[in-house]
Amino acid sequence: MNVLIVAAHPDDEVLGCGGTIAKHSLKGDQVHILIVAEGVTSRDRTRTPDKRQSELSALAQSAHQASQILGAASIKLLDFPDNRLDSCDLLDLIKVVEQAIDQHHPEVIYTHHAGDLNIDHRRIHEAVVTAARPIPASRVKTLLFFEVASSTEWQIPGSAPVFIPNWFVNVSQTLHLKRKALEAYSTEMRPWPHARSISAIEHLARWRGANVGVEAAEAFVVGRHLVT
């Protein structure tokens, strides 16, 4: 089976579904990762990517290392502006997702939830839902939306759709690979008790597992699932 992960920033793919990526890979599925925004330049008052080349290069290296740990078949990093995707035409975002769908022919797509606090996450959600619309002959059978620690749970209730998972993947056997992949993103991780600390993310996986009676799980909201 071909699987596509569409993430806004480097590390979102691991935070959201790293254990699931590893599980797909171990089953022999072909997992392809598309990361749309560069993930660094929002730290500056004005976007100056030329001054951030060393950090951008290091982050890209971390992304490739993490994808290898998880067993992904490919990873592609684009250079859309970090935390400024609301300044980009939605059509441009849709087009790059459509291109990935045309290239990899995924049956399953994982991406961000519509209610995340981060604007880039919400824009990528919109782009994926549009690009994967159920036109005749589409190979995309399942759309799943993941949670990203330090964005999904930081949204204020009533301000956006609430993340209420109804699809769980048992990652008890691959949680260690998710942790190792997060360690590859050392510059993006934060110390406990930050929500984006490795300890917090492991606690979340244990809690999601407890929700469904297993050691560890990743949780998703089903956007669409076609039984054939």
Q: What is the per-residue pLDDT across 114-161, written as a single tens digit (0 to 9) for each? A: 999 999 999 999 999 999 999 999 999 999 999 999 999 999 999 999
User: How far from the centroid of its chain's Cα atoms is residue 206's Cα?
Assistant: 19
Domain that holds residue 66: 2-225
Domain count, the chain: 1
Give the CATH number, domain containing residue 192. 3.40.50.10320
DSSP conformational letter for 51: G
Q: What is the per-residue pLDDT across 191-218, written as a single tens digit (0 to 9) for each? A: 999 999 999 999 999 999 999 999 999 9
Which phi and psi angles does 214 have, rounded to 5°? -130, 175
The pLDDT, as a whole number, for residue 50 is: 73
Percent of the chain with pLDDT over 90: 92
| 170 close to 217: Cβ distance less than 8 angstroms | yes
Residue 43 has pLDDT above 80, yes or no: no
Q: What is the per-residue pLDDT across 69-107, written as a single tens digit (0 to 9) for each? A: 999 999 999 999 999 999 999 999 999 999 999 999 999
Query: Strands 167-170, 142-146: parallel, antiparallel or unpaired by DSSP?
Result: unpaired
Choose among 104, 115, 144: nearest CA to 226. 144
